[in-house]
Structure formats: structure tokens, C-alpha cells
């Protein structure tokens, strides 16, 4: 029988992981891999039987004390044979000593608890053609985020994410086809939204805002880029105003994941998270 080995993923492997995610029905963004790999080039792993890839995991390091797990996939024809758990253990060792987060399918929560993870909230994917009414709030302007100094964007993103992720953010907002808008008021940035083309329709993430009205304005502006096309947003269920916004816009829940951490839930501006960036990288 061929020997099983685990290695760090290269650029070709990252494209394969995206294809595997699409086969799982996760509807990845078309260019996600470029930004994902930039976040931590050493944080993606592939398990192989001989030369044949059979399992994967991302274990991305952020800063010195946070990490995030994603792309935990074993090829369907080889599940239940222990390959996935070996890659999992390899990735968790890569993140040793850090508070680790993940967005896992809900029916795997018990397995993640056995690995030391605790539930923080669930993300609900809302999909549909958003019907968002109402004007941009008084005193707020929506502008292309690329006209704002990157340092300001990075500081704003840090309010909502447990660690700095400049390499990821720089790639995320700069990829072809990604539309990035910020809301600006007299005090500076008060909202950020990114729309990207996906396997089916478009995805919005992150979606940050100081109020539901600003979130609605950003969602409407982004959805207008692809009029009549379906948009998907992964919404923390603990953010009731965001759930109300998506349901009021006529979008429907289609998918649910469990946000879990091995350590304390990070201190971030949770009420301002109307949509997470990515289920794979947080």
C-alpha cells in the first residue's frame, strides 16, 4: 500500500483545495486561494497516499497568539480511514500554544469539543437577491476602499478580528473582481464591505458597520454591482440586527456553521460584524 505523508501545500494544491471546497457545496470565491495563501504560506497542508492527494487542512497563523482552522476535507472515497485526523493533528501542532478558531459544520461540534473547542456562536449563511431599501444615513459617504490609506483599513479590520492580518487584507481588497466599499463619517471609517465572485453568484464578507442602516447601505451598494444575481453573507446569529437585515432583504438561510475557539472568545467589536470574511480563514 502507498505510504501516507503530509506536506505543506503549494500554489497548485491551493487551487485543488478550492475545487474540493466547491465539491463540498461551500461555494468558495473564485480567487480566494490567492488571498488565503498570502495569509500564511506555511499554513496549508495536504495528506497524500503516495503522490495522490487525499486530505487537507488549513492552519493559518495570525500574529503570535491566534490561529484559524479551515479546509478540513478528506476525499469522499477515502473517509473513515484515519487520513483526515492525521492532517488535523499536524495542523493543530502548527498552531500549538495559540487560541485557535474555526467555523465547522454544526453536526461536527462534538468532535471539535473533544479537540478542546468551545462554541461561541453559529454563523448562518443567507442567500438571495437582496432587496434593501432606504437611503445612506445622513453624514455617511460610501467610497471605494482603495482610495483610503491601507493603514486605516487595517486598523479598522483589527476592531473585528482577533489579530492583525495585513497580508490577507491587502490581497483580499486588491484581487480582480473584488468590489470593496467603506462607509465614512465625520469620525472616520464606520463600515466596510467586500463583494467577490463565487462559484455561484457572489459572496459578501467581511461586512462591518457601526449600525444596521450603514450595513444595509453597504449591502445595497455591493449587490448593485451584479444586479439580479444571488448574494451570500455568513452572519453571526448573535448579531440580531444583521439577521433582521438579511431576512428583511428577502434572503434565506441555507447553511450553518459553528464558530468555536480553544481559548476565550476574543474581544472584538462583535455587534459590528454583520458578515464574517470567510469560513475558512475567519
- For residues 226-250, average pLDDT: 96
4-100 has CATH 3.20.20.60 classification: no
pLDDT exceeds 80 at position 3: yes
**Any idea which residue has 486561494 for its cell?**
33
Check residue 132 and give its pLDDT: 87
- For residues 212-237, average pLDDT: 96
Count of CA atoms in the C-beta half-sphere (13 A) of 210: 15
Check residue 162 and give its pLDDT: 96
pTM for the model stands at 0.95
pLDDT single digits (tens) 57-67 = 999 999 999 99
125-275 has CATH 3.90.1200.10 classification: no
Eight-class DSSP state of 260: E
Residue range(s) of every CATH 3.40.630.90 domain in the chain: 125-275
Residue range(s) of every CATH 3.40.630.30 domain in the chain: 4-100
pLDDT single digits (tens) 269-281 = 999 999 999 999 9
Check residue 134 and give its pLDDT: 76
Any residues with CB less than 8 A from the CB of 201 and at least 6 apart, and which? 27, 127, 226, 229, 230, 231, 232
Any residues with CB less than 8 A from the CB of 183 and at least 6 apart, and which? 136, 140, 141, 142, 189, 190, 191, 192, 209, 210, 214, 217, 218
C-alpha cell recorded at residue 67? 490561529
Inter-residue contact 53 to 13 (CB < 8 Å): yes
Amino acid at each position: 500500500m502507498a505510504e501516507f505523508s503530509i506536506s505543506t501545500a503549494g500554489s497548485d494544491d491551493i487551487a485543488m483545495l478550492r475545487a474540493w471546497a466547491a465539491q463540498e457545496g461551500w461555494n468558495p470565491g473564485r480567487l480566494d486561494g490567492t488571498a488565503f495563501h498570502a495569509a500564511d504560506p506555511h499554513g496549508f497542508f495536504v495528506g497524500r497516499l503516495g503522490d495522490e492527494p487525499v486530505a487537507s487542512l488549513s492552519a493559518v497563523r495570525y500574529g503570535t497568539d491566534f490561529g484559524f482552522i479551515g479546509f478540513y476535507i478528506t476525499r469522499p472515497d477515502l473517509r473513515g480511514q484515519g487520513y483526515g485526523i492525521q492532517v488535523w493533528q499536524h495542523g493543530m501542532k502548527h498552531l500549538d500554544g495559540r487560541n485557535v478558531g474555526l467555523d465547522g459544520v454544526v453536526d461536527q461540534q462534538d468532535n471539535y469539543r473533544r479537540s478542546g473547542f468551545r462554541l461561541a456562536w453559529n454563523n448562518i449563511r443567507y442567500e438571495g437577491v437582496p432587496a434593501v431599501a432606504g437611503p445612506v444615513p445622513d453624514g455617511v459617504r460610501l467610497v471605494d476602499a482603495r482610495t483610503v490609506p491601507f493603514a486605516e483599513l487595517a486598523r479598522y479590520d483589527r476592531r473585528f478580528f482577533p489579530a492583525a492580518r495585513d497580508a490577507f487584507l491587502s490581497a483580499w481588497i486588491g484581487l480582480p473582481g473584488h468590489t470593496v466599499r467603506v462607509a465614512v463619517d465625520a469620525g472616520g471609517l464606520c463600515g466596510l464591505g467586500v463583494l467577490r465572485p463565487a462559484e455561484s453568484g457572489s459572496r459578501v464578507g467581511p461586512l462591518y458597520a457601526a449600525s444596521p442602516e450603514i450595513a444595509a447601505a453597504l449591502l445595497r451598494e455591493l449587490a448593485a454591482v451584479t444586479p439580479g444575481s444571488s448574494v451570500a453573507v455568513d452572519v453571526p446569529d448573535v448579531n440580531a440586527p444583521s439577521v433582521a437585515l438579511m431576512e428583511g432583504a428577502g434572503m434565506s438561510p441555507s447553511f450553518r456553521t459553528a464558530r468555536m475557539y480553544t481559548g476565550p472568545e476574543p474581544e472584538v467589536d462583535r455587534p459590528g460584524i454583520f458578515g464574517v470574511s470567510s469560513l475558512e480563514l475567519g
